[in-house]
Each structure stands twice: as structure tokens, then as C-alpha cells.
Amino acid sequence: MKIQVVGSGCSRCHKTEENVVNACAELELNADFEHVRDVTRFAQLGIMFTPGVVVDGEVVFSGRIPSVEEIKTALSQRAGR
């Protein structure tokens, strides 16, 4: 599973990244992780509003900070748990 947090590096983006890391830890999920800060890649990934979370090429969250529980639910659905 590849997880990308998309955002310029603002506090909202850092909180989103922290929540993604915590959700993965709680699920004991090993994932490839990337924080995309290059603004030119945002639209390529389908993100119009940051922060965003992309899982295996699919936009899961955009324009808000998802909670750890929301992220866990989204990741569990994609991991077949």
C-alpha cells in the first residue's frame, strides 16, 4: 500500500501526516509513505484542496484534516481487513 500526504508543509499538513502515521501504527500496517510538497504534483494526484491523502493512487481525503479513526477506517477497507 502506498500512502501519500499532499500539502505544502503547513501545520494542517503536518497534523494530517501525524494522523496517518498513527493510524498505520495502530493498524500495524506497513505502507510506503510519502509527503508530497511539490505544488505541481497536487493536481496530478487529484488534490485540489490541501491537506490531502492519496492511497494507492485514489484520493481518500482532501481539504481537511482526517481523524486517526477516519484514516484507520479508510485504510482497513483498502487492506481488506
Model's pTM, two decimal places? 0.93
Q: Which of 5, 13, 74, 75 is catalytic?
A: 13
Q: For residues 62 and 73, what is the distance between their CA atoms, to the nearest angstrom? A: 16
Q: Which of 62, 75, 78 is nearest to 28 (CA)?
A: 75
pLDDT of 81 > 60? The answer is no
Total domains present in the chain = 1
Write the CATH number for 64. Answer: 3.40.30.10
Instruction: Dig out the grid coordinates for 40 from the structure.
Output: 505541481
**Residue 24 falls in the annotated catalytic set:** no
Active-site entry in 10, 39, 48, 79: 10
Q: Which range marks the domain in which residue 44 is found? A: 2-79
Question: Pairing mode, if any, of strands 2-6 and 32-36?
Answer: parallel
Residue owning grid cell 491523502: 53
The grid cell for 64 is 481537511
Percent of the chain with pLDDT over 70: 99
The pLDDT tens digits for 7-32 are 999 999 999 999 999 999 999 999 99
- Measured CA angle at 8 (ends 64, 50), to 5 deg: 20
